[in-house]
Chains A and B, each alone.
Chain A
Amino acid sequence: MTTLPTHTEKKLGLVIDLDTCVGCHACVVSCKGWNTENYGAPLSDQNPYGADPSGTFLNRVHSYEVTPDEGAAMTVHFPKSCLHCEDAPCVTVCPTGASYKRVEDGIVLVNESDCIGCGLCAWACPYGAREMDQAEGVMKKCTLCVDRIYNENLPEIDRQPACVRTCPSGARHFGDLGDATSDVSKLVAERGGMDLMPELGTKPVNKYLPPRPKDEQIDILAPFLDPVAAEPTGFLGWLDKTLERIG
């Protein structure tokens, strides 16, 4: 059913820390690896070794340059995947009922055997979170690794989305954002977690933690490295003055 649930029991989602993400793309690779081998159609590549390779990915890492009014610019690595919105516009536009939002945990999924591959849900998503698989002709999207997080065949430590499990810098966190006492909710409250394009009213579940301000003083030893004598004296002083006069 493409009617959105009025209430979900949980709001499972990701919290992505833009301060700690180093842009290594490990989450992209692990996501593609897990999701091409498990739930649903594999994530195909087209012309992967040719001049113009492309393929289906459920998670991609962009990099942005942010220039403040004053001071130096900084680079922000920006992983982007489905935000499992509360008011998911991708779900309601689906003509076949293939797209749905689960009542029990809020995950937005695609039932691939009902998907006709019309692509309208990808148009409806502001974030570019849905990609049509060019080999299978069905819509692919982040499942929040629904086949990992409840999978009792896996050790408990692995019952997290592949991207979270693999992140070497601890920039990705998984949990119930509907529960104010959960670790992810506390993290969001503490660090001012934000929504992407809030003006579109999609109410994303996933939150992004803004980069922390850079330290003013880079090195505590720096003051000790200041030049001892600002003005040259002796022979160098005479040379400096003479050359100054000639020039």
Chain B
Amino acid sequence: MHPAPSIIFFTVFSGLGFGLLTFLGFGKPDYSGFTAFIFFLIAYVFAVGGLVASTFHLGNPQRALKAFTQWRTSWLSREGCLAVAALTVMGFYAIGVVFLDTRWTLLGLLGAALSLATVFGTSMIYTQITTVPRWNHWTTPVLFIGYALTGGAFLAGQTSIAAPMLLALGVLQCVVWMVGDKLFATSGSTIETATGLGAMGKVRMFEAPHSSKNYLMKEMVHVIGRKHARKLRIIGVLCLSLLPYLLLVIPPFHHLLSLFALLLHIGGALTLRWLFFAEAEHTVGLYYGQR
């Protein structure tokens, strides 16, 4: 699949923002006043910034409000509705924490639940796509929630929670690759089932329907990035998980050092989200003799 920068930015930063909102909803860190305001500001800039970025790839963004109407069937619509609900509830909760020095616990817990549900909604946009077997698996929501909670714990300054979660996220990501690498083969879709000609013999693409690339190939038959997938996986996991973990655990705690670790983590998340798309193979590639 084509790794559109707007979508990578959207999923990573809205995930981080809603992850931080989840921790804030649980009262971690337990600040009020101006310090709390800064934490909420970071969470809102990330969450809203990510959502705004997601509209950049739309053909007609002026009609984006219509996307809130089809929550009965569409995960994209549900994600939008959940995001607005989470941001609204957490907005009221933030007013209490920042201006009134009051923590409305129940409202915070509701906001945290809605924030996590939003990340789940984002992941389901990809999980529901049966045409991309690598995504169409229960590990996708687990992975997205894992990224959001780890980044959220990190942003919330919960070092004692963030450190083990960083390691766990690295392991989870590796497990997801081990499972995901086999999913296209086990899905059963081949060029033979795609053309229905399998009963006659082995099928091979003889001639493409057109001389140059089309929308389908640009969008869904992205093969460029896979060449370096192995290297990117290693670099990505080092930045996402191992290096930030070591920086948090080994040296004496320092704010600048943990900021550096956070930047490494976000860089790793962006790299691996790029791979999440670039490595995903769509069934339409079968019609073009590619995957």
Interface hits, B205-226 → A, CB 8 Å: 205-216, 219-220
Q: Note all chain A residues with C-beta closer than 8 A to B204.
A: 64-67
Q: How far is the CA of A180 from the CA of B194 in the complex (A)?
A: 25
Contact (Cβ within 8 A) A126 B284: yes
B200 partner residues in chain A, CB cutoff 8 A = 66, 68, 74, 210-211
With a 10 A CB-CB cut-off, give which of A52, A131, A197 has the most chain B CB atoms: A197
A50 nearest in chain B by CB position: B212
Chain B minimum-CB-distance residue to A117:
B59
Other-chain residue from A64, A94, A126 in contact with B283 (beta carbon distance below 8 A): A126
Do A197 and B194 touch across chains, with their CB atoms under 8 A apart? yes
- Among B67, B72, B203, B211, contact of A65 (Cβ-Cβ < 8 Å): B203
For the complex, is A119 an interface residue (Cβ under 8 Å from B)? yes
Q: In the complex, what residue of chain B is closest to A51 when comparing beta carbons?
A: B212
Q: Which residues of A contact B66 (CB under 8 A)?
A: 95-98, 114, 116
The stretch of B34-42, B123-131, B177-185, B266-274 that contacts the partner chain = B123-131
Encode contact with A along B48-75: 1 for CB under 8 Å, 0 otherwise: 0000000001111101101111101111
Determine if A199 and B74 form an interchain contact, defined as CB atoms under 8 angstroms apart: no
Number of A-B residue pairs, CB cutoff 8 Å, is 203
Q: Could you tell me the distance between the alpha carbons of A119 and B212 in the complex, rounded to whole angstroms?
A: 21
A21 at the interface (CB under 8 A from B): no
Given contacts A76-B195, A200-B189, contact A117 B60 (CB under 8 A): yes
Query: Which of B106-153 touch A at CB < 8 Å?
Result: 125, 128-132
Find the residue from A64, A97, A117, A132 having the highest chain B CB count within 10 A.
A64
Query: Quick check: which of A53-61, A149-157, A181-189, A226-234 contacts chain B, the rest being far away?
Result: A53-61
Chain B minimum-CB-distance residue to A140:
B215
A61-B209, A64-B191 are known; give 19 further A-B pairs, CB within 8 A.
A2-B74, A57-B210, A63-B207, A67-B202, A67-B204, A74-B200, A89-B131, A92-B73, A93-B73, A95-B80, A116-B67, A118-B58, A118-B76, A123-B129, A124-B128, A126-B130, A131-B215, A196-B195, A199-B188
